[in-house]
Structure formats: C-alpha cells, structure tokens
Amino acid sequence: MNVTFLDTETTGLEVQRGDRIIEIGAIKVVDGVEVDRFYERIDPQRQINEGAFCVHGISNAMLEGMPLFSEIAPRLISFISGTELQIHNSPFDDEFLSMELKRAGYDRLEAYAPIQCTLKLAKEIHPRGGHSLDSLCDRYGIDRSHRTHHGAMLDADLLMRVYDHLIKDKNKKTEGHY
C-alpha cells in the first residue's frame, strides 16, 4: 500500500477568516518503506497570528522569499497522487489544503488522494482518551523530546511512527487480543 503522512502549519485556525498554510511536510511510504519526502515553507501573503506563532515558532520574516502555494501545488499534487493520505485531525488540514488548491485553480484535496484521519482511528482504538499526537507518542514510547514546537515535517514523521503502532493495535483488537 502507498501511504503519505502529511501535516501542515498555518497562520491561524480559521480558513473563513483568511488564515493560510505556511508549511507542508509529507512522507511517502510504499510497502512499508519510506521512499520520499516533500517539504515546503510558503509565503501566505498575510501575517501569522500570535497564537499560531507560539505553536509552531515560524515567524513572518522566516517566510520572506518563500514560494506561493500556487507555485508548489503541482509538485504537491504529483507527490500525493496514487497514495492514501494519513493526516492527524484531517478535517483541519483538508479544509486548508482544499482552500489553497481551489485558490490555485485545482480540485479539492480528496480528488488527488483519499484521506484517512488518524485522530479518528486513535479514538476508535483507544476510546478512553489520549488522542493528541503528543499523547500517542507517549503511549507508544516514541521520543518527542526534540519537538519544542509543532513543525509540518517533524509532525508527519511522528505520525508515521505512531501509525505503525495504531495499525498493530487495531489488528490486535480485530483479532480479539486486545
């Protein structure tokens, strides 16, 4: 199976208020083996709000001279096509990516790759809580000590590691060993 683990960082939390994507990180895995990575910082053509900056630590100055989303869209589409997207809290990233794709003259994200939500999967497997990426890393003993801020590639990498454990737990639960 071909899977792409994907994460984004944004200027804020609300597409409806004009917030935009500033960073995309994606890791492609084919038959269980990492084969490629996609990483871009993007000029959002707007200011990053203070709350978002506190989460990811990406400043407006760090995005000066970066490409616009429309410039990287064809490479992103090519990268994810033919894979299944695994995204933690996929409705958030899907809303932002679909909006950016539409602005650039493309179809919604799901037109290029089916989207699966690992947050939903985590809630099905572990209904009692601990569904954030940090909580899942702690649950599975995945070192995240280097994660002082959110980052699209860092979070995609952590998600890839968490996903292996989620699938193993899902299989145990299905087989009645859980």
150 included as an active-site residue: yes
Q: Nearest 5°: CA angle at 143, between 142 and 149?
A: 115
pTM (2 d.p.):
0.94
pLDDT of residue 178: 56
Residues 6-31 have pLDDT tens digits of 999 999 999 999 999 999 999 999 99
Residues 142-155 have pLDDT tens digits of 999 988 889 999 99
For residue 54, count CB atoms less than 10 angstroms from its CB and return exposed for 0-12, middle for 13-18, buried for 19 or more: exposed
β-pair type (84-87, 33-41): unpaired
Q: Which of 131, 150, 165, 177 is catalytic?
A: 150
| Tokens of residue 109, six digits | 């994200």
Q: Which class in CATH covers the domain with range 2-175?
A: alpha beta
CA 11 – CA 17 distance, rounded (Å): 11
Listed by start position, the domains of the chain span 2-175
Spacing of C-alpha 160 from chain mean position:
10
